[in-house]
Structure 1
Amino acid sequence: MSTTAGEDLHEANRGLFSSRRVFILAAIGSAVGLGNIWRFPYVAYENGGGAFILPYLVALLSAGIPFLFLEYALGHKHRGSAPLSFARLSRRTEGLGWWQVGVCFMIAVYYAAVVAWALSYAFLSFGRAWGDDPDAYFFGDYLQAGEPGVSLDFVPGVLIPLLAVWGVLIVIMALGVQNGVGRTAVIFIPILLLAFLALVIQALLLPGAGAGLDALFAPNWSALTDPVVWAAAYGQIFFSLSIGFGIMITYSSYVKRRTDMTGSAMVVGLSNSGFEILAGIGVFAALGFMAQASGVAVGEVATSGIGLAFVAFPAIVNEAPAGALLGFLFFFSLVLAGFTSLVSILEVVISAVRDKFETSRLRATLVVTIPCALISLIGFSTASGLFVLDIVDHFINRFGILLVAVVSMLVLAWGVRALPGLRDHLNTDGSVPVRGWWIALISVVTPIVLGFVLVRELVTVIQEPYGEYPQWMLFTFGWAAAVLVLVVGFLLTRIRWRPDTPIHGRGREEE
């Protein structure tokens, strides 16, 4: 069998998205996640309000979309999972792909727990089960979280929905690229958009909504002179676009060869940012209502992350007209956004296992998802799950995703000099011409900016231990987790590819 025929057979066995539309919806589903809803509004508010939109758009156009171009080119040209695409580019870069796989495995383990919480709260909204004190209910009655530490006391309210989440995930992932991943995106993304639009409309009708929007969008132009604000914009773009950990490399490998990848990247990037701004409107309209009802300034109720979702929003639901519907729409949107992102995260790992070991879709799914589910259930359905999740998420996001993104750009630009070849591939069918500006951004500008973000995060976490957790917890679940994905990733490169896996075929840069 010729190399070309071997590649074609390998590609057919891996699966393909049925159309560019399905690919774009799947990529949007990956990008639009929990961070869009509960992170962006507060980051914008804290970093200049309406003025933050300027550095945010600059970051999107100078780093976010160019990095999407990079990952799309790598996956689409080399037709493989993250490790296989890097290996086809140069065998010396394969470890970068496995590093990304390790990051995705770690994220999947804890991300499922947050989706399970949202699933519980979607139904708890109807009876306002959290009562008059959502804070005490979430941390006490629901999560049963005490002092930071390790506990093996299982929490039924988390265990049951987490089992349901993993059960559905295993079925979807086993169905394959088009019937599982693609069809989930085609169904879930329109439903998510409709549900969130309904949420935003209802929030805008609440008394005090205007004050919330004023707080969010009133520009503080002096913030534009602060480099920390610009760093926050670049960090937000990378956290929200699902770039830097192999998802877009994997998804683009499932796209038919003659496809406009640059135009697709523009659609995905702009759609993601549009949803973030929509989320900001909905969230701050609701916070404006809460501030008016409490007789305080919006800044006193504004928060982000878990505090916004599971404490502030239930408090809003308690006071708002038709609060049960508002709560259901909010938490249902979290479930959909989190679920589509979780599917994409797992696909990175499953695709890598399939490519490396030339195994069936079902076997690869079970090999990946069953250990993931067991670790998730044991680690995050216990009374200590919240603390472990918070630490792992912080360190993997800062010293996993951002670090591998910076290293990848530097290696591809200066180590193996791959950017000209990837640029030419993008220009073959792309509707957005890629020129020297793209190479300059990927090789110089973006690594410098993200390097600044990384150094700043490192200095902060050294000077002020994250979350005031005990040092042993930060070391075990933070630093050790970040180092583990790196070490295991590069150890996996020692496993030889099967002889029938085409590594030296079409689309590979010469070493």
Structure 2
Amino acid sequence: MGMISKSCLVQLRNIYPPNSLNKSSRTAIIQTVNVGSVIASAQRRHTMSSATPTGHTATPLLSNKRSLSPSTSSTLGVNPEKKRPTSEEDISHVTLAPLARESSSGFNYQALTESPPLNQTKHVVKALVRSHSSTNAELSYHLQQLRNLSKRKTTFSDDYRNNGNNEDRIRLTSSNLKIVCNENGNDSLVHSTIELKTIETSIELPAAWKPAIQQVTIQRDTWDHKIEFLLAVIGYAVDLGNVWRFPTTVYMNGGGAFFIPYFILLIFGGLPLFYMELALGQYHRSGVFTIWKHICPLVKGIGWATVLINFMTAMFYNTVISWAVYYLIVSFKGVVDDLPWKRCNHIWNTHCCVAADVGEYQYLSKLANVTIVNTTRTTTSTALTTTTRAPEKNCTRLVYSTEEYFYRALQEVDKADGFENLGKVKWELAISLLGVFVLVYFALWKGIKSSGKAVWITAIAPYAVLFILLIRGITLSGSSIGIEYYLQPKMELLKNFSIWNAAATQIFFSLGPGFGVLIALSSYNKFHNNCYRDALITSTINCATSILSGFVVFATLGHMAFVSDKTIEQLIVLGSELVFIVYPHTIALMNWSTIWAILFFFMVITLGIDSTFGGLESIITGLCDEFPNLFGRHRSLFVLGVLAISYLGALPTCTYGGDYIVTLMNEIAVAPALLLVVFVECIAVSWFYGVNRFSWDIKAMIGTRPSLFWRVIWYLISPMFLLMIFYIAMDNFLFGTILIKRTNLRDLPANVQIWSYLMVFAPMLCIPAYAIYKLYITPGKTFDERLQRAVKPEEPLLDLIRSRSAGEQQQQQQQEKTDVL
């Protein structure tokens, strides 16, 4: 009999009218027992046809806190001499047994339990239960799909049949069971609850019974404070891409005009998907594997695809954070000396190095014995009149000290030979990377109880630093030049499809659906949390942060252009170079540069590590929910194992040529597969599970059903939006030009191209591979029959959603008839 490490709330009420029985008869309580073969014996000896004398009523255990008498236990077929479990850990199973039918209108239930020795009777229940109360609002969840439970039947072995009668049974599985009793028989009154701790249980309901189960919901850890969830989501969504990708994307795609397609696609593309994942996680309270059992089991391969994507992301994304850790450490050297990237007097510098804190003209006027070729700038030609008397070296390009520090001091790429020879692991980078994973471990090892505290620093600190840098940036000379470039609208570019594609890609990867992070984080919310409001708040903050970071970046670029006598076009770079070359260069030009360097790289670390928390939490939550006995019981060890695998996988990025791997994975490893994952997810929820059903799920949580606007977007607009950018991403990967360190992917060695295809298609193949497997193991005579079963939710435990009045059910039926969707 399977054990699942989850807990649930179960309230049982007889299906007859409450006024037809007395109070004690209306109350049905399940009592915990240590059974083993005792349950089988009791079930064989006690059948549904058994009856008790007229007028007999069961005494509710909640009222008297006492176990059954020895005589009652004997009637149930339980050996009264059997030793009673003395600790909570001994409890293993829970079973319902009907003792008597008091009238034709309903059933009366009694606990099937072992009776303790006579001298232990008084303390039995007290040792096992803890009482508290909850309001009707908390008990109003979860009954929308009782029909699924009543239809689902499971045949057990002979040990679990009544007197050999091959009676089908409906099976629920859970642990840490909470049992709710309505003592007053009135939904509007306070309900009492007894909670049985650390139980692993299998609840069996004979299919002949049709009790009205009013509430079943998974109980799991919840955020200590609502703000912790918001900070976790904001910290995940606001990452390094907001600093290095968004500003340059705006500049290269129409400046201020880019905001028009950006906000349009936010409303019609990004926000609906963001909202969908928050609602799914909160309602089903499951990770990226288990949740698909309750939506569409056929697409459970999404979970495996998500795990692969997050593992690949962890292998290169944390390396970028480790670079920032390295920069932060060496920045403290600036307290007693200059920042190491300001000067050209280090062993790693070349003869073509230009110090970061002097202008190019001033530097060239002091050069001797250097010839500069293939240059046309006035400053260079002027300098040549005095610097070409005794040429010894040729410089085809002047290199700033910040660039040489990043490539020659930090990574030492000069010791590698591209992908053909990546060189050895650089131990300084490996230690920095290890430090990142150690921080991540202590943030995740206790789940949201530890990560919820970490985000108070990692999510708030970047905003404090960002505002400080913004104030400093706009006060620099020439900052207005950069801000003008950032915001100057080029409306004529709006008719170019490339701008709309850039906006769609930016908003999608900025909000970050598809990684399973939003599902995992929201699964720890309270059921009635307003996820709609959370989606609006967090997505708005994310977009505002992107815009704010653009002001910070371009204000400093304007200052750099002003002091170096260059244009913004000459300074614009993409990706990590903006963070590790351009910005350190600008910092070197400021007064108190050491302080600004420490603040900036601290901000980069906190921006990045929040996203790492989210990605790895998605893996951990998903696997712990899917394999609770294997991973869930030993979370701290499992977290250690996940991080160890990620660290070992990331070590190649710490080699001398590691930047080649980081660039390759950043460019191609995530985007196409992630887009397919979210597309299939959207189809599964909106088309197979049903957008109407999903809307009623949301109403169960927040009390308001999403409007037709949202349902149309989920059903039509979002799939079209995702299909469009997925097609563009695949077309670019298969036929476009993808530059990896200024070299086209198709010009790289064959083994690199093979790895590229594996990284792109391995997560994608998880989805059809699992679908084929699911169809193969699903019983059915025809393909259509198997398909119908495979797309139907197979876990009714989470399908028993909220209790609704007859009028409310009628309202839903009328609404579904009138809805287009």
- Could you state the TM-score of these two structures normalised by the residue count of structure 2? 0.58
Amino acid at match of 1:410: I
CA deviation after TM superposition for structure 1 residue 84, in Å: 0.9
CA deviation after TM superposition for structure 1 residue 253, in Å: 0.6
Query: Against the structure 1 CA distance between its residues 90 and 142, is the aligned structure 2 distance closer, same or farther, given a 3 Å change threshold?
Result: same
The answer for the alignment partner of 1:450 in structure 2 is 722
Amino acid at match of 2:662: L
Any idea what the Cα deviations from partners look like across 1:162-199, whole Å, max 9, x if unmatched?
Answer: 11111111122112212x22111122222221111111
Amino acid at match of 2:764: L
Any idea what the Cα deviations from partners look like across 1:320-367, whole Å, max 9, x if unmatched?
Answer: 222222222221111001001100000000111211211222132123
Count of residues paired in the alignment = 501
CA deviation after TM superposition for structure 1 residue 491, in Å: 6.2
User: Hey, what's the Cα distance between the residues in 2 that align with 1:261 and 1:210?
Assistant: 40
Query: Against the structure 1 CA distance between its residues 12 and 458, is the aligned structure 2 distance closer, same or farther, given a 3 Å change threshold?
Result: closer
The answer for the alignment partner of 1:427 in structure 2 is 699
Contact 1:4-1:506 within 8 A present in 2 as well: no
User: Hey, what's the Cα distance between the residues in 1 that align with 2:512 and 2:319?
Assistant: 19
Query: Against the structure 1 CA distance between its residues 460 and 94, is the aligned structure 2 distance closer, same or farther, given a 3 Å change threshold?
Result: closer
Contact 2:238-2:542 within 8 A present in 1 as well: yes
User: Hey, what's the Cα distance between the residues in 2 that align with 1:473 and 1:268?
Assistant: 42
Query: Against the structure 1 CA distance between its residues 505 and 13, is the aligned structure 2 distance closer, same or farther, given a 3 Å change threshold?
Result: closer
What is the correspondence of 1:250-269 to structure 2 with a 5 Å cutoff? 250-269=520-539
- Residue 676 of structure 2: which of 378, 396, 403 is its match? 403
User: Hey, what's the Cα distance between the residues in 2 that align with 1:492 and 1:369?
Assistant: 26
Query: Against the structure 1 CA distance between its residues 200 and 123, is the aligned structure 2 distance closer, same or farther, given a 3 Å change threshold?
Result: farther
Amino acid at match of 2:760: A
Contact 1:262-1:432 within 8 A present in 2 as well: no
- Residue 757 of structure 2: which of 479, 490, 498 is its match? 479
Is 1:3 matched with 2:209?
no
Look up the SS of the partner of 1:148 in the other structure. coil
Greater RCO, CA 8 A, separation 6+: 1
Is 1:159 matched with 2:430?
yes
Contact 2:685-2:694 within 8 A present in 1 as well: no
Look up the SS of the partner of 1:248 in the other structure. helix
Any idea what the Cα deviations from partners look like across 1:400-459, whole Å, max 9, x if unmatched?
Answer: 222211222223323x14322222222344488622222222232233233332333333
The answer for the alignment partner of 2:410 in structure 1 is 142
The answer for the alignment partner of 1:505 in structure 2 is 797
The answer for the alignment partner of 1:466 in structure 2 is 739
The answer for the alignment partner of 1:499 in structure 2 is none
CA deviation after TM superposition for structure 1 residue 397, in Å: 2.8
Amino acid at match of 1:460: N
User: Hey, what's the Cα distance between the residues in 1 that align with 2:482 and 2:705?
Assistant: 40
Query: Against the structure 1 CA distance between its residues 508 and 96, is the aligned structure 2 distance closer, same or farther, given a 3 Å change threshold?
Result: farther
Segments of 5+ residues of structure 2 without an aligned counterpart are: 1-93, 95-170, 179-199, 201-216, 344-354, 356-400, 778-793, 802-821
User: Hey, what's the Cα distance between the residues in 2 that align with 1:507 and 1:72?
Assistant: 18
Query: Against the structure 1 CA distance between its residues 115 and 428, is the aligned structure 2 distance closer, same or farther, given a 3 Å change threshold?
Result: same
User: Hey, what's the Cα distance between the residues in 2 that align with 1:430 and 1:289?
Assistant: 49
Amino acid at match of 1:140: R
Structure having the higher strand fraction is 2
Query: Against the structure 1 CA distance between its residues 13 and 108, is the aligned structure 2 distance closer, same or farther, given a 3 Å change threshold?
Result: farther
Query: Against the structure 1 CA distance between its residues 108 and 226, is the aligned structure 2 distance closer, same or farther, given a 3 Å change threshold?
Result: same
Contact 1:77-1:507 within 8 A present in 2 as well: no
Compare 103-112 and 481-490 and name the one that shifted more: 481-490
Contact 1:203-1:286 within 8 A present in 2 as well: yes
CA deviation after TM superposition for structure 1 residue 388, in Å: 1.0
CA deviation after TM superposition for structure 1 residue 36, in Å: 0.6
User: Hey, what's the Cα distance between the residues in 2 that align with 1:391 and 1:355?
Assistant: 33
Amino acid at match of 2:699: N
Any idea what the Cα deviations from partners look like across 1:19-67, whole Å, max 9, x if unmatched?
Answer: 3221111100110101011110000111111111111111111111111
Compare 50-59 and 281-290 and name the one that shifted more: 50-59
Amino acid at match of 1:245: F
User: Hey, what's the Cα distance between the residues in 1 that align with 2:798 and 2:219?
Assistant: 17
CA deviation after TM superposition for structure 1 residue 158, in Å: 1.1
CA deviation after TM superposition for structure 1 residue 263, in Å: 0.3
Amino acid at match of 1:37: V
Amino acid at match of 1:311: I
The answer for the alignment partner of 2:588 in structure 1 is 318
CA deviation after TM superposition for structure 1 residue 160, in Å: 1.6
Query: Against the structure 1 CA distance between its residues 64 and 284, is the aligned structure 2 distance closer, same or farther, given a 3 Å change threshold?
Result: same
Query: Against the structure 1 CA distance between its residues 489 and 356, is the aligned structure 2 distance closer, same or farther, given a 3 Å change threshold?
Result: farther
The answer for the alignment partner of 1:104 in structure 2 is 310
Alpha-carbon RMSD across the aligned residues, in angstroms, is 2.4
Contact 1:44-1:52 within 8 A present in 2 as well: yes
Look up the SS of the partner of 1:3 in the other structure. strand
Compare 438-447 and 275-284 and name the one that shifted more: 438-447
The answer for the alignment partner of 2:519 in structure 1 is 249
- Residue 653 of structure 2: which of 372, 375, 380 is its match? 380
The answer for the alignment partner of 1:224 in structure 2 is 494
User: Hey, what's the Cα distance between the residues in 1 that align with 2:551 and 2:622?
Assistant: 38
Contact 1:238-1:244 within 8 A present in 2 as well: no
The answer for the alignment partner of 1:304 in structure 2 is 574
User: Hey, what's the Cα distance between the residues in 2 that align with 1:275 and 1:8?
Assistant: 43
Segments of 5+ residues of structure 1 without an aligned counterpart are: 497-501
CA deviation after TM superposition for structure 1 residue 504, in Å: 2.7
Contact 1:78-1:508 within 8 A present in 2 as well: no
Identity of aligned residues (%): 25
Amino acid at match of 1:369: L
Contact 1:465-1:471 within 8 A present in 2 as well: no
Look up the SS of the partner of 1:82 in the other structure. coil
Amino acid at match of 2:172: T
Structure having the higher helix fraction is 1
Amino acid at match of 2:661: V
CA deviation after TM superposition for structure 1 residue 153, in Å: 0.2
